[in-house]
Amino acid sequence: EAQVTQNPRYLITVTGKKLTVTCSQNMNHEYMSWYRQDPGLGLRQIYYSMNVEVTDKGDVPEGYKVSRKEKRNFPLILESPSPNQTSLYFCASSLWAASGDEQFFGPGTRLTVL
Amino acid sequence: GQNIDQPTEMTATEGAIVQINCTYQTSGFNGLFWYQQHAGEAPTFLSYNVLDGLEEKGRFSSFLSRSKGYSYLLLKELQMKDSASYLCAVRDTGGFKTIFGAGTRLFVKA
């Protein structure tokens, strides 16, 4: 089944404790992206990747890192999480970054930073 | 600046037609998407417009006017399962960044 998977689905952590949220897609997509979703603000793009080893900042990259060492994986790293990073995170992928390519979203990761 | 505006909430009756509007002001434009998101779930793709006009797909249609920075999503023959949030999103000129509106929560009542 074609899908985007994320792990963990739920995470409660404390300020300053490094964490990684994994994202994997099995559709051979070139483009991958991370979003956070907060009430009243909608989805905001954190980072995106056009291909292996090619990543760039979205609108809210502060406090996050990403890597794209393999086409299928695009982990999101929080080196020192803070409470304002409590949010619902979605990973997404599309075939290319071309205009008509829809994004397929993972199931989401709900992160709470205490 | 970049801005996408949608109504926060709408209510409609089962079997009726509802139109969800979206206005956008972005530095570039390379297509407009509509996604549906049920509570607690991931967004799923509904429609895409890059040229002016109406795109129809079953009970759902989407319209775009690039000169006015305006789009709408039309849902016909509403069903209870259409109760969800509807997200308007614009892809920038390069195609790499996507900006989402805050979403419109639609309640369908019997």
Residue B51 CB: number of other CB atoms within 10 A? 8
Contact A102 B33 (CB under 8 A): yes
Tell me the pLDDT tens digit for each residue of A23-35.
Answer: 999 999 999 999 9
**Contact A59/B43, CB-based, under 8 Å?**
no
* CA angle at B19 for the pair B16 and B21, rounded to the nearest 5°: 165
Query: Residues B53-80: pLDDT tens digits?
Result: 999 999 999 999 999 999 999 999 999 9
Average pLDDT taken over every residue of chain B: 95
* Residues from chain B contacting residue A108 (CB–CB below 8 Å): 41-42
Mutant choice from A10, A25, A37, A90 vs B, greatest count of B C-beta within 10 A: A37
- Residue of B31, B87, B91 with shortest CB distance to A43: B87
Walking along chain B (110 residues) 10 residues at a time, the average pLDDT comes out as 92 98 92 96 96 95 97 98 97 85 97
Q: Test B97 with A108 for CB contact under 8 angstroms.
A: no
Contact A97 B103 (CB under 8 A): no
pLDDT at residue B17 in the model? 98
Residue A16, sorted as left (phi over 0), alpha (psi -120 to 50) or beta, turns out to be: left
Are B7 and B106 a contacting pair, CB within 8 Å? Answer: no
Report pLDDT digits (tens) over A74-112.
999 999 999 999 999 999 999 987 767 899 999 999 999
Q: What is the DSSP string of B50-68?
A: -SSEEEEETTEEEEEETTT
Counted across chains A and B, CB pairs separated by less than 8 A come out at 58
Contact A48 B96 (CB under 8 A): yes
**Alpha-carbon distance A32 to nearest alpha carbon in chain B (angstroms):** 10
Token code pair at residue A73:
């994986």
